[in-house]
Amino acid sequence: MAAETGLASRLYRGEAGLNIVGRRKLWFSIAAVLVVIALGSVVFRGFSLGIEFEGGNSFQIPTSVGTMQDAEATANQSLTTAGGGAHVVTAQKVGGAGGEFYELRTTQLNSEQAEAVRVDVAQRFGIDPDQISANRVSEAWGSQVTNRALLGLVIFIALVTVYLILRFELNMAIAAIFSLVMNLALTSGIYSIVGFEVTPSTIVGFLTILGFALYDVVVVFDKVQENTRGITANNNQTYGEAANLAVNQSLMRSLNTSVVALLPVGGILFIGAGLLGAGTLKDLGLVLFVGMAMAFLTSILLATPLLVVLKNRDPRIAAHNKRVEARRAAVARGEVPAGKSTSRRTERVEEQVEPVAAEEAGAAALAGAAAPKVGARPAGKRSGGARGGRPGGNRPGAGKRR
């Protein structure tokens, strides 16, 4: 019995009664504060861009030289000596056909400096310089990736807007796009605050989480549409209450979907990149994990509450909400029975029937008052005639003398 009444069970049945839509001002306030912090970090702190965006050099050193910390420390010493003050930006362990390497990415070096650093690092480790490979990355490639990603983002949002308008309505499309933009803004802010490196894999991850965020919103809005279909024909619920019920009913489904999606992404991030050292998976895993978690929160706490705000501005929905509140006030005063049917059609029928019933009741009362009782004399007639004669005085021959 305790398991059936627990929070998890009530969430699964949609009976938890969490007032999510009713507390929309709280969610909007928290989101506004977080967005201000995120944008402030992006403006003043910026992003930790990878060498694909800023340009730089990369060196691949065999793992046989020792730990990655040893490789990074030695490379910094060589960069200080032969690289004109350059430094290592990132270090990660990668694998390839030729074995495993430590990939060290540095700030920009010219060709002479890069060759001098490669030779110096080899001498410090006591290996052949040919075992260390050096490459230069131009920032132009990163700019090209960024421009194409922005173009893809614009096309994606345009197509999503058209789909949501055709599938649902304009207000739902606006709320969904707002949720997607908030998801991107908050995820970007986390990247800027924490200092995660932004690489082309990060850009791909950003585009990926948009699809997941859209799925979350569509799941919730589909239930909202089901609960609010024909709502103005019944005065039992306001639009906000019906939408809040839909959020409660779809909350467990959204939570299960998010957890199931986060488990493999968490495996890529924490096991693949963390324990196994697969550094190439770190950038993609980070953005997917953060973005999917934010997508769940924005779809529940921001998308549906904003939809309710937009719908309440509709005159038809506003009038319906007022009717619901007026009926509840009448029930509280005892003017209307609490269990009485409240559909608009029933109210119109009752408005037509009540005057007819009142007229029939009045006619029946008049007829009852005019009907003589059994054995009673007719009203207005006197037994002795008009002048008080003897009984039977009106009979023929009663006035003749003998």
The tens digit of pLDDT for each residue in 313-336 reads 999 999 999 999 998 888 888 876
Which residue pairs, CB below 8 angstroms and at least 24 apart, start in 92-100? Answer: 92/68, 92/277, 92/279, 92/280, 92/282, 93/63, 93/68, 93/277, 93/278, 93/279, 94/60, 94/278, 94/279, 94/280, 95/278, 99/62, 99/63, 100/62, 100/63
Q: What is the mean pLDDT of residues 54-70?
A: 87
CA gap 72, 63 in Å, rounded: 12
Cβ within 8 Å of residue 113, ≥6 positions away: 82, 83, 84, 86
CA gap 103, 111 in Å, rounded: 18
Please give the backbone phi and psi of residue 339, each rounded to the nearest 5 degrees, phi first: -90, 5
Q: Of 17 and 134, which is predicted with more confidence?
A: 134
CA gap 244, 13 in Å, rounded: 14
Q: What is the mean pLDDT of residues 101-110?
A: 86
CA gap 366, 370 in Å, rounded: 6
| Residue 383: per-residue pLDDT | 43
DSSP string computed for 200-240:
HHHHHHHHHHHHHHHHHHHHHHHHHHHHHTTGGGBSS--HH
Q: Of 145 and 362, which is predicted with more confidence?
A: 145
Per-residue pLDDT at 96 exceeds 90: no
Helix pair 315-333, 304-312: axis angle to 10 deg = 90
CA 396 to chain centre: 101
| Residue 47: per-residue pLDDT | 87
Cβ atoms of 85 and 113 within 8 Å: the answer is no
With bands split at pLDDT 50, 70 and 90, how would you rate the model's confidence at 309?
very high
| Residue 12: per-residue pLDDT | 58
Cβ atoms of 142 and 54 within 8 Å: the answer is yes
**What is the phi-psi region of residue 381: left when phi exceeds 0, alpha when psi lies from -120 to 50, beta otherwise?**
beta
Residue-averaged pLDDT of the chain: 78
| Residue 364: per-residue pLDDT | 44
| Residue 394: per-residue pLDDT | 45
Per-residue pLDDT at 71 exceeds 60: yes
Classify 171 as helix, strand or coil: helix
Closest CA to 296 of 212, 191, 192, 201: 212
| Residue 339: per-residue pLDDT | 58
The string over 285-298, giving b where at least 16 C-beta atoms fall within 10 Å of a residue's C-beta and e elsewhere, is: bbbbbbbbbbbbbb
With bands split at pLDDT 50, 70 and 90, how would you rate the model's confidence at 239?
very high
Q: Of 121 and 194, which is predicted with more confidence?
A: 121
Give CA torsion, residues 10, 14, 18, 22, to 10 deg: -170
Q: What is the mean pLDDT of residues 355-376?
A: 45
How many CA atoms does the CB half-sphere of 311 hold within 13 Å? 26
| Residue 273: per-residue pLDDT | 60
With bands split at pLDDT 50, 70 and 90, how would you rate the model's confidence at 8?
low
H or E, element range at 21: none
H or E, element range at 246: helix 239-266
H or E, element range at 300: none
Tokens matching residue 197: 């490196």
CA gap 240, 281 in Å, rounded: 43
With bands split at pLDDT 50, 70 and 90, how would you rate the model's confidence at 211?
confident
Q: What is the mean pLDDT of residues 373-390?
A: 45
Per-residue pLDDT at 298 exceeds 60: yes
Tokens 């933009």 -> residue: 181
Cβ atoms of 57 and 106 within 8 Å: the answer is yes
H or E, element range at 95: strand 88-96
Q: Of 233 and 401, which is predicted with more confidence?
A: 233
Tokens 């345009």 -> residue: 158
- The region of weakest confidence among 147-161, 285-299, 340-354 is 340-354
With bands split at pLDDT 50, 70 and 90, how would you rate the model's confidence at 348?
very low
Cβ atoms of 3 and 235 within 8 Å: the answer is no
Cβ atoms of 185 and 43 within 8 Å: the answer is no
Closest CA to 242 of 330, 343, 324: 324
CA 57 to chain centre: 42
